[in-house]
Amino acid sequence: MTNAEADALIATLPKPGGLQLHREGDQIVMEGGKWGAHSISAMASSGARLLVHWRGYVENNGQTLGPDYGRAELPRPASEVARDLEPGDKVTFWSASYSAKGGWRPGTVVRATPKRVLVAFHYKYEYDKHGRLPPGAEPSQTWRKRDEVRRRTIR
C-alpha cells in the first residue's frame, strides 16, 4: 500500500477511546493504549492487514470499532470464558527445546489476549543444584498461541 492509500484509509477508520492511528514515514503507528505503541510497515501491508491490526489493537485495549467492523470470530461461550487464563495462573506451554515431560515447559501467565498468551518462565540452567533460583532472577517471557498453552495440574 502506498503512503497516500494508507493516509486515506487511516482517515476513514474510527479511533475510539483516545486511541491514535497515524503514519510516521513508512510506518503506520497505533498508540494510546495501555500496552504501548504498535506499528506496521505501510509498504509491506494491505488495507485488510491494517484493518486487522487496528481492530486487534482497539479490542486489546477494551474498545470496539463498532458494528461496521465486526469481529471475525464468534464470541466465546460463557462456560469457556469462566475458565479463561488470568495473570498468575500456572500453565505449561509447548517448547521444542524442553526435553523433560515431552516438551511441555512450566510457566506463569503474564497476560492473555483472545488469541495468545504471554508466559513467564525460567530456563533449567538458571536453577542451582538444589532447584532454587538465585535472588533477583528475572524470568524470560514468550508469546504462545492458546492451543500451545494448557493449565498446569499441581500435585
pLDDT over 90, % of the chain: 21
How do residues 112-132 score in pLDDT, each as one tens digit? 888 889 999 998 888 888 889
Please tell me the predicted confidence (pLDDT) of residue 24. 92
Q: Please check the confidence at residue 27 and state whether its pLDDT lies above 70.
A: yes
Q: Which domains does the chain have, with CATH numbers?
A: 3-69 (no CATH), 78-151 (2.30.30.140)
What does each C-alpha distance from 12 to 47, 52, 126 come to in angstroms? 12, 15, 50
Average pLDDT, the chain: 83
* Residues in the chain, total: 155
Cut 0.85: pTM above it:
no
Nearest to 13 by CA among 51, 41, 49: 51
How do residues 73-102 score in pLDDT, each as one tens digit? 545 554 554 457 889 999 988 887 776 556
Please tell me the predicted confidence (pLDDT) of residue 101. 57
